[in-house]
Amino acid sequence: MKDSRRRSAIHIFPCPPQRERAFSLYEALVTLTVVSTVSTIAVPGFQQLTSSQRISGAANTLVTSLHLARSEAINRNEKVVLCPSVNGRACRNSAAGGTVWEEGYLLYIDRNANHEFDADETTVRLFGATEGLHIRSTAGRDHVTYQPSGMAHASNLTITICDKHGRGKPRAVIVSTSGRVRTSTRTADGSAIVCPTTS
């Protein structure tokens, strides 16, 4: 008897059907508007940031290569040359718009001091191409030569680094006649960096 009373006291109530909640057209349009507005603001800023990081990275690589060139010249007691090179077997000559460095550059021991990479000369290191950037030195300055004393041959040299799409802040790598290397947002004479207009 007790069991039957307990059973009758338990009532099972059917659950009311639950309505599924979905986005209305209005909510979807508001969400889409907010996302597109945020993207419009954020994407250019992100592009500027990545371009600035790429420029800084290229400047750091160039500074490292110049420090290595100076160190090798002093340690080996020989002339060492850093020059732009597409294939790693010859230096690229200067052009009317300046010397192009973004396609790679070559560091070698210049035993006969002719500023040319000859077959019997030693490659210290080959640096690969840099995508998306212009890396240029002024016309007539198509290499950097370090003397065994650590001094750089000829006058101050400025190598400019710019984004090909005009994003980010351009940088300059400046080599003084004493052989010291520094980076700047201006050229060696203090003027503004002028970036190439062609891509």
Which CATH number is 78's domain given?
3.55.40.10
Distance CA 184, CA 182 (A): 7
In the numeric block, which tokens belong to residue 153?
Answer: 């041959």
Whether residue 169 lies inside any domain: the answer is: yes
Whether residue 191 lies inside any domain: the answer is: yes
Whether residue 85 lies inside any domain: the answer is: yes
- pTM (predicted TM-score): 0.73
Number of domains present in the structure of the chain: 1
Is the distance from CB of 132 to CB of 164 less than 8 angstroms?
A: yes
Average pLDDT over residues 110-129: 90
Whether residue 149 lies inside any domain: the answer is: yes
Look at 104 and 47; give whichever has higher pLDDT.
Answer: 104
The predicted-structure confidence for 144-199, as pLDDT tens digits, reads as follows 999 999 999 777 889 999 999 888 899 999 999 899 999 999 988 888 998 887 65
pLDDT of residue 198: 62
Residue 4 has pLDDT above 70, yes or no: no
Domain span holding position 65: 48-199
Distances 150 to 68, 79, 92 between C-alpha atoms, Å: 11, 9, 24
Residue 97 has pLDDT above 70, yes or no: no
Whether residue 5 lies inside any domain: the answer is: no
Whether residue 168 lies inside any domain: the answer is: yes
Specify the DSSP class assigned to residue 48. Answer: H
The predicted-structure confidence for 18-46, as pLDDT tens digits, reads as follows 666 666 777 777 787 777 776 667 666 66
Whether residue 20 lies inside any domain: the answer is: no
Structure confidence at residue 67 as a pLDDT band (50, 70, 90): very high
Whether residue 166 lies inside any domain: the answer is: yes
Specify the DSSP class assigned to residue 193. Answer: P
